[in-house]
Structure 1
Amino acid sequence: MSALLAAAVTVLFWASAFVSIRSAGGAYSPGALALGRLATAAVLLAAIALIRRVGWPNRRAWPGILTSGLLWFGGYMVFLNWGERLVDAGTAALIVNVGPILIALLGVRLLGEAAPRSLWLGIAVSFAGTVVVGLSMSGGGGSSLLGVLLCVLAAITYAIGVVAQKPALRHGSALQITTYSALVAAVALLPFAGVLAHESADAPVSATLNMIYLGVGPTAIAFTTWAYALARTSAGKLGATTYVVPALVVLMSWLFLGEVPGWLTLAGGVLCLAGVAVSRRRAGRVAAPVVAREESAQVR
């Protein structure tokens, strides 16, 4: 139950990021926005880690920290920010949401995770819902080849980062792994510091506040709760829960942006939610033994 609640916090924050990215993205370029977001998260997480006296990570955690920090925390955000400027919403939603499928495949291949039929059926239903939502909300804009490639890179780096983070969580806490991953990403994005400083001088206050919010909520908090949930469930099943995000985006766009969804959009959102429910249908029967085995292995 605690893992499910943590996952719920994550998807709520990640869905809310849609509204903030639309505001901040108008004033900040992709690299500068990613650096500002990650620098905010890194400073906040580092302060919390110091207060809680979180020490240096175990050396066995560092391969996962470096991989997830560079590819997921850093690369994914730059690729996604950039790609969404070059493709329409439908194309971006379609490509980026291949991520959970890749996570499930990599989880089976690299982590030896089980992939029950309910997981694949749920992913298929949710992905279909994502396509419906994306196409129905698309403004009909064009898609460049570069934009498509950037969205593909975003999906790939997201999937590899999640799968790399899973083993690292055996050797450190969620806060510890998230903090150092954010620090690695922030350092890697320092080449954008000059651009960030220049754009900050001209950016409206609302855009800067939204960038800070992205660092605090959808990054510092959401990535930590994600890591907490990932340590207690399989990467494939947790990845499938992110298909709730498109449905929440539809609702939040309706509430905060006044974008009234059409029936096709609502139908897609329902499909997303139904798919997640199907993918987790048997989770309650298997999650407890899995967690028990992991905890037993850690004690030994």
Structure 2
Amino acid sequence: MHPFPSHPALPWLAASGVMLMWASSFLVIRVAGHDFSPGAMTLLRVSAASVVLLPLLLLGRVRPPRTARLWAAVLGWGVAWFALYLVVLNAAELFLDAATAAMLVNLAPLIVAVASGLLLGEALSVRLLAGVLVAFSGIVLISVGASTGGLSGLGVVLGLAAALLYAGSVLAQKLLLAHVGSTSMTVIGVVAGTLACLPFAPALISEAGAAPLGSLLGVVYLGVFPTALAFLLWGYALTHTGAGLLSSSSLLVPALTLGLAWLLLREVPPPLAAVGGVLCLAGAAFAIAPAVLRALRPGRRADYPGSTAREPSVEARTGEDPIHAPCA
């Protein structure tokens, strides 16, 4: 009998939490970026995540990859996701406002949706592509409406590089999840990213001594929630959902970021940005709503396009249960 999530809606509930935490990270980075350089902020963030994930290692919930080739692949994925991507994203926001950075980074779901169909054999429906394009048009409006100034050429290059790292990491993770449990992959990847960022330790020591407590706590928050917890949940959701379909849910992030900024920072979005937020929500809903509704029907399994649900999962072979793991 093939293993499935205890309820097929759980991957989508997990993804919803991830999107909310990732949206909040744009606000925190905006504030903490005044006190920390990109590399130092990344090191503190992933170090905090490593500390939070340490109990999983001590309790034997992390099972190492079975071959040297898998080890190399997981370590490389961890460096790409938890070091290179975060450093490049932080650097991009030195030159771009948050809305423009979000627009560029959220090219990634479109890349993943197309690449998943071409490389992973996932169903590439017209509905999915149409929803992604509608949501992306909303992201463009958010960027135009909320932009605070002219575009920096270097910032655009860094933003596009972050999008490519994001897309490549999602696709690599989807492939590796057939061989490595999602919890193990997350813990090993975060530790690999932390080790890769150690050259930034001198800068972190210097900047942490001068930073206000609020900024320090903000970066620790980034490590505990948008990194450790969010990536555990993301890995779980990706195990049971197609990469292209799940990644399209991250098109909600710019709209959620606008909403959080409105509620928490009292920043009222410009009218054009508000319209863009509505388009983001509508496009993402159009793309993923059928799969979510199928998951919510009683007795229905999570048979999403590209789902690993049709095959025995790594969790079943190893006994790893990421959604019920400690700290998850």
Given that residues 72 and 160 in structure 1 are in contact (C-alpha distance below 8 angstroms), is that contact kept between their aligned partners in structure 2? no
**Cα distance in structure 1, aligned partners of 2:258 and 2:313:** 42
Q: Counterpart of 1:17?
A: 25
Q: Are residue 235 (structure 1) and residue 243 (structure 2) matched?
A: yes
**Cα distance in structure 2, aligned partners of 1:45 and 1:154:** 25
TM-score by length of 2: 0.86
Identity %: 43
Q: Counterpart of 1:68?
A: 77
RMSD of the alignment, in Å?
2.0
Please report how far the alpha carbon of residue 216 of structure 1 lies from its aligned counterpart in structure 2 after TM superposition: 0.2
Q: Counterpart of 1:102?
A: 111
Deviations along 1:236-279, whole A, 9 cap, x unmatched?
01110001111111111011101012332221111111111111
Number of corresponding residues: 299
Q: 2:146 aligns with which of 137, 141, 148?
A: 137
Q: Are residue 293 (structure 1) and residue 310 (structure 2) matched?
A: yes
Q: 2:263 aligns with which of 251, 255, 263?
A: 255
Please report how far the alpha carbon of residue 294 of structure 1 lies from its aligned counterpart in structure 2 after TM superposition: 2.3
Q: Counterpart of 2:204?
A: 196
Q: Are residue 50 (structure 1) and residue 64 (structure 2) matched?
A: no
**What is the DSSP-based 3-state SS (H/G/I as helix, E as strand, rest coil) of the residue aligned with 1:126?**
helix
Q: Counterpart of 2:188?
A: 180
Q: 1:213 aligns with which of 210, 218, 221?
A: 221
TM-score by length of 1: 0.93
Unpaired segments of 5 or more residues in structure 2?
Answer: 1-8, 295-300, 318-328
**Cα distance in structure 1, aligned partners of 2:32 and 2:110:** 29
Q: Counterpart of 2:12?
A: 4
**Cα distance in structure 2, aligned partners of 1:88 and 1:15:** 15
Please report how far the alpha carbon of residue 167 of structure 1 lies from its aligned counterpart in structure 2 after TM superposition: 1.8
**Cα distance in structure 2, aligned partners of 1:269 and 1:122:** 14
Please report how far the alpha carbon of residue 135 of structure 1 lies from its aligned counterpart in structure 2 after TM superposition: 1.5
* AA aligned opposite 2:312: E
* AA aligned opposite 1:244: L
Given that residues 79 and 154 in structure 1 are in contact (C-alpha distance below 8 angstroms), is that contact kept between their aligned partners in structure 2? yes
Unpaired segments of 5 or more residues in structure 1?
Answer: none
